[in-house]
């Protein structure tokens, strides 16, 4: 087993009295949180840090390797986390993490190493989550990180890695990350990295033109897609709780941009965002300028759970094959139960530019818009101006000019 663990301490102040802060312990903790617990878990970082310091002190590298050699599945998970965080190793090494995880996940690895049959489902779920993280690191690696990865790949000589590098590595790493994330979800662990992988697959599929509303039928990511869909619905439900109901308010159709003030008695005078947000959560705007201004707020809903820029896939034919849906006779019984939930998610591809510039048509003529202007003698009162001809920007300019004149009169 070409594995070695160091045990160095940063020359930093002691953490919480007598507990040392080991080199890259913050990344070790981040890897734990990303891979080992459900994404709903709220962590007391002070307590997690103390526990990590105590654990690393008690179980130095040599001792954790000894436990792994004696077929302790929890020791394998711990070694993988150390590699993922670069704590107790020469550097962060996704390949090193995958090498030790083979002991739990690859029955074809060295017979003396394999111990997957000894691990309970909860440990196997954590192992798959860690493997998903390792492949995601490789998928998103910078040029400098790729150079280090190549050194580690030559060191560990994993057959799976050699096979992945023979085609489009980005697609291969994405597929491997998705498969491990899906298996983690199937075993009951939806960790933060599982969701991140699922959301990245969602963005990638949307960019390739895949009908993501049907991904509940995917052979490769059915369980993962269920987790992604559930998370999106959580985000949407949180937003619904924040928004006030306006159905009974005659002046409730207001431009969503903060500080705009344009409203109407007819919703058709405003235009809805045409992005992926649910219909009942679509904000309405008086102009493209207001839509642009509001994007930083609305993005959290319109691109809920966005995992960042999707990877560039060059082998599009094989990518589409990977996303291909299974036939009905191959589906599991839970697909019908997924349909209603999946239909709630509009996964059409949309970017900031698309949402602002491409999806906002002009409001139809003849509809009345309303704006309030502070009263000249009583600023807490207002003058209501309505127009079915003035553009929103002209109405706001009128408000600003009248407000300036009022302020000048008051000063004189």
Prediction pTM value: 0.73
- Together in a domain, 397 and 308: no
Token readout for 251 is: 């002046």
Q: Is the pLDDT of residue 351 over 60?
A: no
- Together in a domain, 33 and 89: yes
**What pLDDT shows up at residue 343?**
37
**What pLDDT shows up at residue 136?**
95
Are 177 and 197 in contact by the 8 Å Cβ rule? The answer is yes
Choose one of 166, 196, 212: the last residue of a domain: 166
Are 180 and 128 in contact by the 8 Å Cβ rule? The answer is yes
**What pLDDT shows up at residue 332?**
44
- Together in a domain, 136 and 251: no
Q: Is the pLDDT of residue 210 over 70?
A: yes
Are 214 and 343 in contact by the 8 Å Cβ rule? The answer is no
Q: How confident is the model at residue 287 (pLDDT cuts 50, 70, 90)?
A: confident
The verdict on residue 205 lying in a domain is yes
**By 3-state DSSP, what share of the chain in percent is helix, strand and coil, each rounded to 5?**
55, 5, 40
- Higher-pLDDT residue of 189, 241: 189
Q: How confident is the model at residue 305 (pLDDT cuts 50, 70, 90)?
A: low
CA torsion sign for 225, 325, 132, 117 is: positive
Could you give the CA distance from residue 392 to residue 373 in angstroms, rounded to a whole number?
14
User: Which residues span the domain enclosing 274?
Assistant: 187-363
- Together in a domain, 335 and 270: yes
The verdict on residue 176 lying in a domain is no
Could you give the CA distance from residue 162 to residue 134 in angstroms, rounded to a whole number?
15
Choose one of 323, 342, 363: the last residue of a domain: 363
- Together in a domain, 22 and 119: yes
- Together in a domain, 284 and 345: yes
- Together in a domain, 159 and 22: yes
Domain count, the chain: 3
The verdict on residue 107 lying in a domain is yes
The verdict on residue 172 lying in a domain is no
- Together in a domain, 138 and 258: no
The verdict on residue 404 lying in a domain is yes
The verdict on residue 24 lying in a domain is yes
pLDDT tens per residue across span 360-375: 445 555 567 777 777 6
The verdict on residue 195 lying in a domain is yes
pLDDT tens per residue across span 50-67: 999 999 999 988 899 999
- Strand intervals (E) in 157-246: none
- Together in a domain, 310 and 398: no
- Together in a domain, 159 and 226: no
Choose one of 166, 195, 226: the last residue of a domain: 166
Q: Which residues contact 360 (CB under 8 A, 6 or more apart)?
A: 271, 273, 274, 285, 288, 291
**What pLDDT shows up at residue 176?**
93
Q: If you average pLDDT over every residue of the chain, what do you get?
A: 79
- Together in a domain, 9 and 151: yes
The verdict on residue 311 lying in a domain is yes
- Together in a domain, 148 and 204: no
pLDDT tens per residue across span 64-105: 999 988 999 999 999 999 999 999 888 899 999 999 999 999
């Amino acid at each position: 087993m070409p594995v070695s663990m160091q045990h160095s301490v940063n020359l930093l102040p002691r953490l919480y009295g007598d507990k040392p802060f080991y080199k890259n312990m913050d990344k070790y903790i981040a890897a734990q949180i990303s891979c080992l617990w459900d994404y709903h878990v709220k962590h007391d970082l002070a307590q997690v840090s103390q526990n990590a310091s105590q654990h690393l002190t008690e179980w130095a590298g040599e001792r954790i390797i000894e436990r792994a050699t004696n077929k302790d599945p929890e020791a394998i998970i711990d070694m993988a986390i150390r590699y993922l965080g670069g704590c107790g190793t020469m550097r962060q090494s996704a390949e090193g993490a995958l090498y030790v995880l083979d002991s739990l996940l690859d029955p074809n690895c060295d017979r003396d190493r394999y111990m997957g049959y000894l691990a309970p489902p909860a440990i196997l779920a954590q192992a798959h989550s860690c493997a998903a993280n390792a492949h995601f690191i490789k998928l998103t690696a910078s040029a400098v990180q790729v150079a280090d990865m190549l050194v580690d790949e030559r060191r560990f000589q994993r057959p799976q890695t050699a096979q992945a590098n023979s085609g489009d590595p980005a697609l291969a790493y994405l597929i491997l990350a998705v498969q491990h994330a899906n298996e983690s979800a199937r075993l009951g662990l939806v960790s933060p990295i599982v969701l991140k992988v699922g959301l990245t697959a969602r963005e990638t599929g949307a960019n390739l033109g895949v009908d993501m509303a049907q991904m509940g039928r995917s052979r490769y990511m059915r369980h993962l897609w269920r987790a992604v869909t559930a998370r999106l619905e959580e985000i949407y439900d949180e937003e619904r709780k924040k928004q006030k109901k306006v159905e009974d308010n005659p002046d409730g159709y207001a431009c969503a941009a903060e500080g705009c003030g344009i409203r109407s008695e007819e919703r058709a005078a405003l235009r809805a965002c045409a992005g992926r947000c649910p219909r009942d959560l679509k904000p309405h705007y008086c102009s493209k300028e207001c839509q642009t201004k509001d994007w930083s707020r609305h993005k959290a809903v319109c691109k809920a759970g966005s995992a960042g820029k999707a990877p560039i896939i060059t082998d599009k034919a094989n990518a589409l094959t990977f996303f291909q849906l299974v036939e009905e006779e191959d589906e599991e019984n839970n697909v019908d139960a997924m349909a209603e939930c999946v239909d709630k998610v509009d996964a059409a591809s949309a970017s900031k530019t698309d949402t602002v510039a491409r999806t906002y048509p002009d409001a139809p003529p003849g509809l009345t818009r309303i704006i309030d202007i502070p009263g000249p003698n009583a600023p807490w009162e207002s003058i209501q101006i309505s127009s079915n001809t003035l553009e929103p920007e002209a109405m706001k300019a009128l408000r600003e000019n009248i407000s300036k004149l009022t302020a000048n009169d008051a000063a004189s």
